[in-house]
Amino acid sequence: MSYQKTLPNIKPKKETLKVNVKKDKTRNSTSAFFDLALDKERLKDILENIPSAIVVIEKPEGKIIYANKRASEFYGVNPCGLELKNLAVKIYKLDGEICPTEEMSIYKALFKEETVRDAPPLIIEDIKGKRFIVNVSAKPLCDKEGKANAAVAIFDDVTERVKTQEALKESEERLKMAQRIAHVGSWEFYVKEDRAIWSEELFCIFGLKPQQYGPNTIDYVARIHPQDREAINKTMEQMLFKGVASKASFDYRIIREDGSIRTVHSERMIREVDNGKKPKRIVGIEQDVTERKQIEQKLEEHTKNLEKLVDERTKQLKDAERLATIGQTAGMIGHDIRNPLQTIVGELFLIKQDVDGSPDSQYKRNTQESLGTIQEQIDYINKIVSDLQDYARPLNPELVEVDLRYVIPQLLSTVDVPNNIHAFAECDKKLSKLTLDLTFLKRILVNLATNAIQAMPNGGQLKIRTFEEGDNVSITTEDTGVGIPDEIKPKIFQPLMTTKSKGQGFGLAVVKRLVEAQGGTITFESQVDKGTQFKITFPKQTK
């Protein structure tokens, strides 16, 4: 007997409803069956107006023997009398694939006699192309003998719900993406339960694996940098217990499990209070600002360095202006000083001749000593004028071929070396010839040798050494004198820089200019109380 033929056998009293619940001894104690007596017209009215679609399918053809109004809307036509396989509708899974007939809930209920609930939603496309997203529940129907001969299926339209869920999911994904890009994590904290709900990005900021809940208060505080805990505790006490503030904004540091330290900016606000006006729920965001803090720190350092550089450049500009004035003065007075100086030198020469030709006496010896002192001072004045003019005027070296093996010993012989200083030169026998200005070279070596001698007031050793290094030729002057203090080293080649009791401090500045004018470089190494070495390097093909 089919399910269709059993429907008319229900003959309840018109417009009455009786419900009797009886224990079914063949089932468990909580099961029951209902004996319904309801007018067929009222039952039809109910079935036709409920929001769910209901269809009844009969074996063996799988023909639809009942469909309510909502089912007709799903299929686009009244499907009664049609077989399941001949329906002009398409049924898809949510991923877009066509759903096989054997996987449909109604098929399983009818032919496999399975009761199907909570099946994945499906998409029904009617003959007009309109689509519905539905949840389908199905159950086999049995005749009086308990044999399944039909099935009932209920279709619930969840189109809007699924779209809302998808929109919510998409919105959540956009929020997660925005939080990842901005390195921002959100949270909610329920005070009484000591329970925190963290966003996925917040777990990432703290270097933790995402879980259902964030750490409790004790675990959270343990991750705060020890130097920042007191300030945060004070802020949270004002929010939680004293009611001083409902909002808070501050930066603090956290320590991840891998030991790395990150800087976090926090914005917190009380969102809900209890009847006693005590905070019940607090919400907030945490933003990882480590890179921003590092950039700010570098910018601050750069600003300080820039200010320092501006000060140095300003000082250099002032020094340059002062040196330019000195250069102009040197150019003007150099000639005026040299003229009377030459007259003095000439007169001194004549006086020395007269004194040298006079009979030997104590007076003669005293006079010769005084004349020698005068000559030394004249030479010193001449050196000052030469240094001033060499530093101020443009340098135009007159290049000639120079053999250092012969030139350097000759230049050393012109330097007045005290008896307590041992001075000598060492030259490589295979030394290449260079193209240099011989006058410049003399000024360089005489200046360096004179400085070395003055650095050894108690005697010592002066060595001038020449050798080849690859494509270069190097000249070094080494002394065993007092050395150069560390605080003076950065300024050693600056004009007007001197540690001597007398002198204008142009000597090494002039040496540097003369070396560089010939395409060379000069460096030095020095240790206090051990001595100093100056090294001059010229390329072999100096032009």
Going by C-alpha positions, the residue among 49, 35, 68 that lies closest to residue 152 is 68
- Is 165-288 the same fold as 3-157? yes
Residue 526 to residue 479: CA distance in whole angstroms: 10
Cα four-point dihedral sign 506, 508, 509, 510: positive
Chain segment 17-55, per-residue pLDDT in tens: 343 444 444 443 333 333 444 467 787 788 888 888 898
pTM of this prediction exceeds 0.85: no
Chain segment 167-217, per-residue pLDDT in tens: 888 887 887 787 778 789 999 999 999 999 999 999 999 999 999 999 999
SS3 of 364, please? helix
Mean pLDDT (10-residue bins), the chain, 543 residues: 36 40 41 45 81 88 87 83 78 86 82 86 84 88 85 88 84 79 88 92 92 92 93 85 77 93 93 86 92 88 87 79 66 69 82 84 85 81 70 78 89 87 90 89 90 91 92 93 90 68 62 90 93 93 55
CATH number of 3-157: 3.30.450.20
CATH class of 395-539: alpha beta
SS3 per residue for 287-318: EECHHHHHHHHHHHHHHHHHHHHHHHHHHHHH
| Rg of the chain (C-alpha set) | 53
Architecture of the domain defined by 294-390: Orthogonal Bundle (1.10)
Distances (CA, A) of 281 to 231, 235, 239, 359, 509: 21, 16, 11, 117, 74
Architecture of the domain defined by 165-288: 2-Layer Sandwich (3.30)
Chain segment 470-486, per-residue pLDDT in tens: 889 999 999 999 999 98
35 in Cβ contact with 19 (< 8 Å)? yes
